[in-house]
Amino acid sequence: MTGKRIMKQQKRQNRSAKTEHTLPETGTETDINRRAVNREHEKLIKWFQTVKFRKVLIGGVDEAQIWKKLEELNKLYEAAISAERTRYDVLLREHTKNCNALIRKYKQQLAELISEKNKQKAVPGGKEQGDAYRTDI
């Protein structure tokens, strides 16, 4: 191989190595944001890492192929959005269930505290303990 070919090959390898580590949106995502949330997200990341366009002599790339790739990308995004909606619905149901259980528990505890307080105030003669000390009655 000639020196130019080796340099070009190294540049291509460097570019492909960079794209493997960053998402296409900003290129500056943190490691936390790079992890795939679900299988559909993994497919999107893989698609961006492997997508290639057929080059033409005039105009750069084949327009028909670009539209085909955009349709593929759209289907991948729709699947990812659907999976996320399902995940969020499950999380919301679980959260609502937990919140309702806590509300019932706290209402029950409050009712018990109120009934205990009312029992302590009550005097066997039918008057409340606080009334016995009042002089204006």
pLDDT digit string (tens) for 67-123? 888 898 899 899 889 999 999 999 999 999 999 999 999 999 999 999 999 988 875
Alpha-carbon span 7 to 13, nearest angstrom = 10
Q: What is the pLDDT of residues 32-64, one digit of tens each?
A: 456 667 788 888 888 888 888 778 777 788 878
Is 2 a member of any domain?
no
Total structural domains within the chain: 1
Residue 2, classed as helix, strand or coil, is: coil
Is 104 a member of any domain?
yes
Q: Are 15 and 52 in contact (CB under 8 A)?
A: no
Is 18 a member of any domain?
yes
Is 131 a member of any domain?
no
pLDDT of residue 2: 65
The boundaries of the domain holding residue 47 are 8-119
pLDDT of residue 14: 63
Confidence tier at 28 by pLDDT (50, 70, 90): very low
User: Could you tell me the CA-to-CA distances from 50 to 12, 34, 46, 57, 66 in Å, in that order?
Assistant: 13, 16, 6, 22, 14
Is 109 a member of any domain?
yes
